[in-house]
Amino acid sequence: MKVQRAQLRRPRAMGQVPGSLGAQLEERYFRQKVKLGEGSFGTVWRAVDRQSGETVAIKQVDKESMPRRGVNRQDIEREITIMRIFNHANIIKLLDTFEDPMTIYLALEYCDGGDFGDKIRQQGLDLDEKELAMWVRQMCDAVCVLHTQNICHRDIKPENFMVHN
């Protein structure tokens, strides 16, 4: 995970004036139809920052499905607050946030290598011990940074560690 300051902003509804506060998500990011993953908080899509050309991940949280997933507004706000606290090489950066009446969007740093669980499944026993040790060290560093701020992750598993090539 990695972090940067952001404000919760509302993306454009159909027919809104370009440049308005609500149009900022679509103005800033081109959301591709590439699903990167799905978790208890929402679905993550690949997107491109129209200003920098950088690939980003957009976490999309459907407000209507939040209660079914056991997620409430405070959970999302807590995640955003926590992500804003950290600026660490092994913690995904929160780049920006947006909101419309149906959805909350989090623009996140994109990790092009998938998740650590995928790496384990792909490489299995062929994992290089030195490379594995490097990954585990980075995971421990990230958890240690959280713990220094009295934050407990509560869902540590290979699928929640992203790999950046």
Q: At what angle do helices 116-123 and 129-148 cross, to 10 degrees?
A: 160
Residue 126 bears catalytic tag: no
Alpha carbon separation from 61 to 102, 114, 141 (Å, rounded): 9, 20, 28
Which one of 62, 112, 141, 155 is the catalytic residue? 155
Q: What is the C-alpha to C-alpha distance for residues 84 and 2, in angstroms, rounded to an integer?
A: 8
Phi, psi (deg, nearest 5) at residue 71: -115, 135
Helix, strand or coil, per DSSP, at residue 76:
helix
Report d(CA 107, CA 130) in Å as an integer.
32
Q: Which residues are catalytic?
A: 155
